[in-house]
Structure 1
Amino acid sequence: MTTFPGSARVEMVMGMPVSVDIRTALPERELTPVLDDAFAWLRWVDDTFNPAKEDSQVGRLSRGQTIRQIPELIEVLHRCDELSEATNGWFESRINGVIDPSGYIKGWALERLSRALCNAGAVDHRISAGGDIRVRGSAMPGKPWRVTVRDPRTGVVRAVVHAHDMGIATSGRRPIVNPRTGKVQVGLGSVTVVGPDLGVADAYATALYAMGAVLARRFAADLAASGPYETMIVTRDGQETTTPGFTRHTGAATRLAV
């Protein structure tokens, strides 16, 4: 079977293993600096946006301290505000005076990295970090990427997504706060959102998880009816429902009951 030569690397960034798998046939002298730059970007994102880091720009902003004029910071905060409005406040990057864009920033960072890899000529790639995955191009000549979506609590395979260009975001691996109550949401097992922009899919998955099962089903149906983002919702007892468009990428037959 013909395969792409490419190169892959895994490093710990943002407190988790992050993998960048490039399948485009580029010479090693080009692939090595591309991968170096990829992980340098991800480390910069973590240093800038991680609220747990005392000297991060987000942490300093929460404490009212002086920050550097960084275009990316303005972009992220503005986009978080837009996503809060789009989800009726269920996605919220400001809770109790603390700025925490973690429900968006990982997906945003991987989406930006994916575009940068394309610009560098590495058009066939898969980037994975926790529950966020961005694929472009082909895994093998003419073949789409095959992305396994697992239940973050049990490890059970819930879906296999086939795609040449897609963001796949799954929430449920880490605690998610209900912004209306300030308490950790416990009603769902996981929420997976697929669509063209991984940052947006990440934020939607976070918001849907925070909503709980009933509201999440309704919002997911409305989201699918109005745009390209499709959803799979898994409850704590293992019941699985999807929007109709989700099955176009998996071949599954389950439909969302509204």
Structure 2
Amino acid sequence: MTTFPGSTRVEMVMGMPVSVDIRTALPARELTPLLDDAFAWLRWVDDTFSPTKEDSQIGRLNRGQTIRQIPELIEVLHRCDELSEVTDGWFEARINGRIDPSGYIKGWALERLSRALCNAGAVDHRITAGDDIRVRGSAAPGKRWRIGVRDPRTDVVRKVVFAHDLGIATSGGAPVINPRTGEVRHGMGFVTVIGPDLGLADAYATAAYAMGPLLARRFATDLSREGLYETLFVLPDGQEFSTPGFAHHSGAAARLAG
């Protein structure tokens, strides 16, 4: 099979291995600085938004200290407030008097990075950070990316998604707080949301997990009706439920197309 050249780099950022896989045929003199800039951006996001770093802007905000008026910080806090309203408070970055945008920030950062790579000419790429994945372009000439949706508890692949342009976010690998009680949500296996914006998919997956199975199915059905975001649920006992559009990316038709 014909393959793309390109380059892949993996570094530890945000406490996890992050992979940037560029398949576009670009010369090394362009690829190397692109990858340097990609990881510099992700480290800046971590240093700015991590709630556990004392000198991050979020850390300073939570302690009532002076913060810098960074446009990205204002954008993220505003978007988190919007997402809280859209999800009826099930996505909530302000819990117990503290701000923690973790349910949105990783997806947002990867989405921004993906757009930057496209603008720089690296239109064929896959970015992976934990359970968040953003793909664009092709994995090989004429071939869609093939992405395994893994159960974050067992690492078992439950579905395979084929796409040229998609964000895939999975919630359930780390504790999710029920914003109504302030306690960790139990009773869900994992939730995967796919759609055009990884930041929104990340937040929707977090919200759906926090809701619990019954409310989450209704929420996912409403999202699916809008035609942009599709959802897969796997319960602790292994039962699955997915919205109809999810099969368009993972069924036989998707495999033949990709």
TM range (shorter): over 0.9
Q: Find the aligned partners of 2:227 and 2:81 in 1 and give their Cα distance.
A: 19
| Matched residue count | 253
Structure-2 residue corresponding to 1:102: 102
Q: 1:74 is matched with which residue?
A: 74
Deviations 1:12-62 (A, max 9, x none): 000000000000000001000000000000000000000000000011111
Describe how 1:34-53 pairs up with structure 2 within 5 A.
Answer: 34-53=34-53
Superposition deviation, residue 252 in structure 1: 7.0
Q: Compared with structure 1, are the counterparts of its residues 252 and 204 closer, same or farther at alpha carbon in structure 2 (3 Å cutoff)?
A: farther
Cα distance per residue 1:92-125 (max 9 Å; x no partner): 0000111000000000000000000001100000
Q: Deviations over 1:43-93 (max 9, x none)?
A: 000000000000000111111110011000000000001111010000000
What residue in structure 1 maps to residue 62 of structure 2?
A: 62
Aligned partner letter, 1:226: E
In the TM superposition, residue 226 of structure 1 has moved relative to its aligned partner by 2.1
- SS state at 1:161 partner: strand
Q: In structure 1, what is the equivalent of residue 16 of structure 2?
A: 16
State how far apart, in whole Å, the 1-side matches of 2:222 and 2:186 are: 23
Aligned twin of 1:113: 113
Classify the secondary structure of the residue corresponding to 2:183: coil
Specify every segment of 5 or more residues in structure 1 that has no aligned partner in the other structure, as ranges.
Answer: 254-258
User: Compared with structure 1, are the counterparts of its residues 180 and 34 closer, same or farther at alpha carbon in structure 2 (3 Å cutoff)?
Assistant: same
TM-score by length of 2: 0.97
Partner of 1:256: none
Structure 1 Cα separation of the partners of residues 73 and 251 of structure 2: 39
Shift of 1:227: 3.6
> Which residue number in structure 2 is paired with residue 251 of structure 1?
251
* CA displacement 1:123-167 (0-9 Å, x = unmatched): 000000011000000000010000000111122211100000000
Q: Which residue of 2 aligns with 1:134?
A: 134
Q: Secondary structure at the match of 1:188?
A: coil
Q: 2:211: which partner in 1?
A: 211
Distance 1:8 1:152 in 2: 23
Q: Distance in 2 between matches of 1:7 and 1:44?
A: 22
Distance 1:56 1:157 in 2: 35
Q: Which residue of 2 aligns with 1:190?
A: 190
SS at match of 1:186: coil
Structure 2: state its 5+ residue gaps: 254-258
C-alpha deviation, 1:169, in angstroms? 0.2
Output the CA distance in 1 between the equivalents of 2:227 and 2:244. 13
For residues 252 and 146 of structure 1, the distance between their equivalents in structure 2, rounded to whole angstroms, comes to 13
Aligned CA RMSD, in angstroms, stands at: 1.0
- Specify the alignment match of 2:256 in structure 1: none
Match of 2:175, SS state, is coil
Matched, 1:83 2:78: no
In 2, the alpha carbon distance for the partners of 1:89 and 1:19 equals 32
Paired letter, 1:245: G
Query: Where do 4+ consecutive residues of structure 1 move more than 6 Å?
Result: none
The aligned counterpart of 1:6 is: 6
Identity of aligned residues (%): 81
